[in-house]
Structure 1
Amino acid sequence: MSSKKWVYLATSVMLILGLGFSGCSKKVPETVPPPPQFTETEAAGVTEPLDTEETGIMEGRTSGPMVPVYYEFDSSAIIGEQVQRIEFNAEFLRDNPDIRIRIEGNCDPRGTREYNLALGERRAQAAKRYLVNLGVSPERMNTVSFGAEKLLLYGHDEISYAQNRRSDFVIIN
């Protein structure tokens, strides 16, 4: 074999190996947030709304002592433990007949702007209908959809998405 061919072959092999090693960078593992800490009653499956006056913690943008209602992906159905949360809000509103609220429908950032605005509106309307069925006057409530315009968490993980899929209950008077 001539020396030109050896040089060409050696250069080709080095080029191929160099491209092979540099083109396949290792993926950096994502950091996994620590698991949520549960109280004894939550661990037993009983969830109670936070006492916002005592803790100073408010969920979402909801006015305390009410609590937001969270939704499954691509859904406006109020199901599971969220029923207890909206019933708690209804009880608070029935006990305080002078309070008016705005129900704000929110979505996670997946989906188009138009789709998320429509889904946020369905969520806010579903929460309003539920409260009306529980005895709260519809004249005391209005609704608005923010879609994915007012995110609480900006992560691209299921925890962030789940926190953004909610209806907030904001006192407006």
Structure 2
Amino acid sequence: MWRNVRVALPALVCVSLLTLSGCGTKKATDAEMKAGEESLDSNSTGISEGRTSAPMLPVYFEFDASDIKSDQESRIQVNADFLNKKQDVNIRIEGNCDPRGTNEYNMALGERRALAAKKYLMNLGVAESRMSTVSYGEERILLHGHDELSWAQNRRDDFVIE
């Protein structure tokens, strides 16, 4: 029995040391993470959130809905303000959906979402000729999770400078 303990004890000590030595890695601080996010936000591709061109913002939708909700009005106002200042900029409004529902249904829903944003922007003074729409339905998923957070991020209109 003592012979088994003499063999097992050094092996157990080695395994414990290897396991504990892996725990000493440095974790990023909040400040370092914020700095990383800022560099992503101001990257050279001009993408701010979703697939929307900076400084515009995407507009998010409720499940199975295409109306611009009151909590998204400030986002679309930011886009209208930018477009009204930059008269030479044309955009493409891309309607997106989460993966629930059929492909056909999601393509139609994405189109309704893009058209709703276009109409809203027109009411805020942006010329119709400066905007085009396209529906990607569920084809351009940002988050592939099967939870409400992922689905909510995928139910959006992106505003892309052409």
Question: TM range, normalised to the smaller chain?
Answer: 0.7 to 0.9
Q: Could you say which residue in structure 2 is the equivalent of 1:68? A: 58
Which runs of 5 or more residues in structure 2 are unaligned?
A: 1-37
Q: What is the number of residues matched between the two proteins? A: 122
Q: Is the 8 A contact 1:152 1:164 kept in 2?
A: yes
- Alpha carbons of 1:162 and 1:99: their partners in 2 closer, same or farther (altered >3 Å)? same
SS at 1:65 equivalent: coil
Moved over 2 A (4+): 52-57
Is it true that 1:168 corresponds to 2:155 in the alignment? no
> How far apart are the structure 2 equivalents of 1:54 and 1:121?
29
Structure number with greater Rg is 1
> How far apart are the structure 1 equivalents of 2:123 and 2:41?
31
Q: Write out aligned runs for 1:111-122 (5 A).
A: 111-122=101-112
Is it true that 1:91 corresponds to 2:76 in the alignment? no
Which runs of 5 or more residues in structure 1 are unaligned?
A: 1-51
Q: Is the 8 A contact 1:53 1:64 kept in 2?
A: no
Shift of 1:95: 0.3
> How far apart are the structure 1 equivalents of 2:110 and 2:135?
5
1:77 paired residue among 46, 67, 80: 67
Q: Could you say which residue in structure 1 is the equivalent of 2:100? A: 110
- Alpha carbons of 1:75 and 1:92: their partners in 2 closer, same or farther (altered >3 Å)? same
Is it true that 1:126 corresponds to 2:106 in the alignment? no
- Alpha carbons of 1:154 and 1:93: their partners in 2 closer, same or farther (altered >3 Å)? same
Q: Could you say which residue in structure 2 is the equivalent of 1:136? A: 126
> How far apart are the structure 2 equivalents of 1:58 and 1:98?
20
TM-score where L is the length of structure 2: 0.72
- Alpha carbons of 1:96 and 1:54: their partners in 2 closer, same or farther (altered >3 Å)? farther
- Alpha carbons of 1:170 and 1:128: their partners in 2 closer, same or farther (altered >3 Å)? same
Structure with more of its chain in helix, by fraction: 2
TM-score where L is the length of structure 1: 0.68
- Alpha carbons of 1:158 and 1:130: their partners in 2 closer, same or farther (altered >3 Å)? same
Alpha carbon RMSD of aligned pairs, Å? 1.8
- Alpha carbons of 1:54 and 1:157: their partners in 2 closer, same or farther (altered >3 Å)? closer
> How far apart are the structure 2 equivalents of 1:101 and 1:53?
24
SS at 2:49 equivalent: coil
